[in-house]
Amino acid sequence: MTVKCKMNGVILLLFGIFSLLSVDSIRAEQTGSSRMETVYLTGDDFSGWRGKTGEWEIVGDAFINSENEKLLSVRSGTGVIVNGPIGKTSHLFSKAEFGDIKAHIEFMVPRGSNSGIYFMGRYEIQVFDSWGVKKPKHSDCGGIYQRWDDNRRPQGYEGYAPRVNASLQPGQWQTFDVIFRAPRFDNNGRKISKARFERVVHNGIEIHADVELTGPTRASAYKDEKPVGPLMLQGDHGPVAYRNIRIEPAGANPFFAMDTGTKDAKHKKPKDQVEMLKELGYDGIGYTGCKGLAEMLEELDKNGLRLFTVYLEVNIDAGRKKYDPKLKEPIELLKGRNAILWLCIESRKHKPSSPEGDENAVEIIREIADMADKSGLRVALYPHYGFWLERVEDSVRLVKKVNRNNVGATFNLCHYLMTDDEKDMGSLIKSAVPYLFVVTINGSFDLKQFLDILNDAGYSGPIGLQGYGIKGDAYEYLRQSISDWRQITEQQTMQ
């Protein structure tokens, strides 16, 4: 069943949005499905690892050597793996190969030591003694290591420092909790979606969110990219111990609510909205404008939720204010959060979708993108019915012309249904996926069908719940929405 959005006032019916899909149809499709099982890589032996293990050994515990603080001593037993007496041995590769995963990894290093965890054997999160470092770099603990090209100047590029230094003192056990998304490829082997660290939490503190990688990082085991690959532990850069390495299915795309649907008489303040989203299980919020942004960020941080997007208006007409002249202030405030600036682009001079406005639009988008890049932010163009930037096709056209790595597109389901023929949705999404940073949904379409289209096209990024014009109890329709979202996405992971 398909019901189009009402165009007058863009009224969306969000309460019970996913009930368009029959629960019985979900359950019927589960028969015969399979899913990835949880894999434990540290235990009584090296059965989960392949090839030669070098000097890696299984012990009961590890701790700093009392005579040399740069080495580790061990106790007999099982459950912990250590890379030999001096930490100069071969890398360790898992037998199993993974795509999208959720990983829990515990590690410990002595003073000054260094290792690395390579997802798919290609994309490194740095393990390092970074205790006390004031301004961490990509080479500090938790950093996403840089790429390397001998023919470039500088040779190293695209490294990502942790948002904060969450390192403990050497000799203490530390944790990484990581959600990683593998790159996607079409039937011809062409990459259509980049590898991405969706979330990296170091000792309980989020240090990365939605960081895309254009290719393998320095010292990776492989120079190419594949849909799956092994977990690799670096063994030759210094002593390190690992324990409790657990690999699970990554689960559904991050799911956030736009603030257009989080406000009612009981939820006017950021504190009330964020606490409600936390209780219901949303991953975060999409925010409108810059006013009150600092207060919203404070509440999100308290509750461990993310700010996914900030909606901003842009005008491309000569003589008009291009954007809020104070935009630099919120961009600075958002530094290191890898949030997305959502650009909704208007014009009175040019008709919707008219390429005649492209030249001015490209100049303004580049201007904002360059400011955003200094704070590690991305920019996504937001198609809106009746605006100059109206269609997904317009976003993709402009992204190509802007030619900035931090500029991408948005697929907004409601505005798409108001401007395009839904029969072309599958082919349009496939063509847009290499440029898509974010997708939004609403109650105007069979959501199971839509999410299947996204999955088939290779999209693995965040999905926002739009709620403009909703009346009544925000808690109740958000509760019903996420309940049905979970039912649909759990069914998908079992296929």
The CA-atom distances, in angstroms, between 292 and each of 109, 240, 289, 296, 375 are 42, 44, 8, 6, 19
Whether residue 2 lies inside any domain: the answer is no
Of 228, 249, 270, the domain-final residue:
249
What percent of the chain stands above pLDDT 90? Answer: 73
The CA distance from 316 to 279, in Å, is: 41
Residues 289 and 421 in one domain: yes
Residues 201 and 245 in one domain: yes
Contact 439, 27 (CB under 8 A): no
Of 249, 278, 298, the domain-final residue:
249
Within 10 angstroms of residue 394's Cβ, the number of other Cβ atoms is: 24
The CA distance from 289 to 313, in Å, is: 8
Residue 251: predicted pLDDT: 82
Residues 233 and 310 in one domain: no
Whether residue 352 lies inside any domain: the answer is yes
Q: Could you list the residue range(s) of the whole structural domain that residue 266 is in? A: 8-32+253-493
Tell me the CATH number at 290: 3.20.20.150
Residues 199 and 346 in one domain: no
Which long-range contacts link 201-205 to residues 24+ away (Cβ below 8 Å)? 201/175, 201/176, 201/177, 202/141, 202/142, 202/162, 202/166, 202/167, 202/174, 202/175, 202/176, 203/166, 203/167, 203/168, 203/174, 203/175, 204/166, 204/175, 205/164, 205/166
Residues 273 and 209 in one domain: no
Residue 448: predicted pLDDT: 85
Residue 16: predicted pLDDT: 40
Tell me the CATH number at 48: 2.60.120.560
Whether residue 401 lies inside any domain: the answer is yes
Amino acid symbol at 77: G
Residue 444: predicted pLDDT: 59
How many alpha carbons lie under 13 Å from residue 242 in its C-beta half-sphere?
28
Residue 8: predicted pLDDT: 35
Of 249, 278, 312, the domain-final residue:
249
Residue 447: predicted pLDDT: 83
Residues 203 and 259 in one domain: no
Residue 494: predicted pLDDT: 57
Residues 107 and 178 in one domain: yes
Query: How many domains would you assign to the chain?
Result: 2
Mean pLDDT by 10 residues, the chain (495 residues): 36 38 30 62 94 92 96 96 95 96 97 97 98 96 95 92 96 97 89 92 93 94 96 96 95 91 92 97 95 95 94 95 92 90 96 95 97 93 96 96 94 90 85 93 79 88 86 88 87 61
Residue 21: predicted pLDDT: 34
Residues 92 and 215 in one domain: yes
pTM of the full predicted structure?
0.80
Residues 243 and 264 in one domain: no
Residues 115 and 177 in one domain: yes
Residues 46 and 107 in one domain: yes
Whether residue 230 lies inside any domain: the answer is yes
Whether residue 3 lies inside any domain: the answer is no
Residues 90 and 227 in one domain: yes
Whether residue 362 lies inside any domain: the answer is yes
The CA distance from 196 to 183, in Å, is: 7
